[in-house]
Amino acid sequence: MPAPGEFELIERFFTRPARRATLGVGDDCALIEPTPGMTLAVSSDMLIEGRHFLSTVAPDRLGHKALAVNLSDLAACGAKPLAFTLALALPAADEVFLAGFAAGLFALAEREGCELIGGDTTRGPLAICITVFGELPPQAALLRSGARPGDDLYVSGTLGDARLALEVFRGTVALDETSFRQVRQAMETPMARVGLGLALRGLATSAIDVSDGLIGDLRHILARSGAGAVVDVDALPRSAIVAAQAPALQRECLLAGGDDYELVFSAPADRRAAVVAAAAGAGVAVTRVGAIEAGQALRLVDRSGAAVASDTRSFDHFRA
């Protein structure tokens, strides 16, 4: 049997009946109508083999992650997911790969009510680019620019597992099998904090999702907000597995890990109870890790308040 062609692949693996979209896969454009009066939120993220994922990742997990990292940007904005497009470069028409990839992709898409409405499929080195479309009320978006001195600083979930898994793959750390399975799952199947992002609308003064490491991503908030911050490194939420590592490695994973897809956000200090309620409603733990300050410095301290030196850097594609 000849290998399936481009259109057969699209038909078999990426075509589902349009539900919310006016027009889905199969025509020159897809058509979507946001709820009247709502603003569209749009974001793209690309995943390249060897750069964003290892060749060892199972196809279904790759499908999940490709969409999850995009949903994470909607979450950081407080937008509700609507639809996405998928541009895919494949070295070959590998049906086993595509079946797994599509299964992971659609499982998450269905869970989040986000519909695949179009894309592009071409031959080339494995690369995945997804563009997500979400909606939110005008002026309601959580931006990087709204943090104010005196605001509390929070992190959702835990940080560092994905980086620890990467270190195991790099051979710099050894973990027992159960621990490795857990951190590997964090690296390969992150959960975007969509519900939390929605719950933080009107409450958080700024937000960003942690994709390149806490320090680097927090610096984006500070730069846009024209503010500084103090972070208690001992307060940073971490799994028992990360907590069992040597202190220097813990800090590297927590501060500069990347691939966490948790939210870091600020909120007024007098809204603490509301933040706790929002997090509980979304079913996500949030931890207060510091505060926004006047100035431009990002100060790291330990639980006693003593300064902590750090030369950790966030990930930068053109410096790494």
> Residues in the site for ligand ADP, rule: CB under 6 A?
10, 14, 25-28, 86, 88, 116, 118-121
Minimum gap (Å) between residue 87 Cβ and Mg ion:
8
Q: What are phi and psi of 5, to 5 degrees?
A: -85, 175
Query: What is the rounded CA–CA span in Å between residue 64 and residue 87?
Result: 15
Query: What is the nearest approach in angstroms of ligand ADP to the Cβ of residue 26?
Result: 5
Degrees, nearest 5: CA angle 61-67-71: 130
Minimum distance, C-beta of residue 162 to Mg ion, in the bound complex (Å) = 33
- Residue 21 or 198: the one with the smaller Cβ distance to ligand ADP is 21
Nearer to Mg ion, 110 or 120 (CB): 120
d(CA 290, CA 235): 8
Q: Shortest Cβ distance from residue 120 to Mg ion (Å)?
A: 4
Q: Which residues bind Mg ion (CB under 5 A)?
A: 120
Q: Are 24 and 116 in contact (CB under 8 A)?
A: yes
Q: Between 32 and 291, whose beta carbon lies closer to Mg ion?
A: 32
Binds 295: which of ligand ADP, Mg ion, none (CB < 5-8 Å by kind): none
Q: How far is the CB of 42 from Mg ion (least distance, A)?
A: 19
Contact 300, 293 (CB under 8 A): no
Whose Cβ is closer to ligand ADP: residue 6's or residue 316's? 6
Helix (H, G, I), strand (E, B) or coil at 169: helix
Pick the closest to residue 200 from 82, 115, 74 (CA basis): 74
Per partner kind, with CB cut-offs from 5 to 8 A, the member of ligand ADP, Mg ion, none near residue 14 is ligand ADP
Two tokens, residue 174: 């050894």
Q: Which is nearer to ligand ADP, 14 or 133 (CB)?
A: 14
Whole-angstrom Cα distance, residue 283 to residue 194? 11
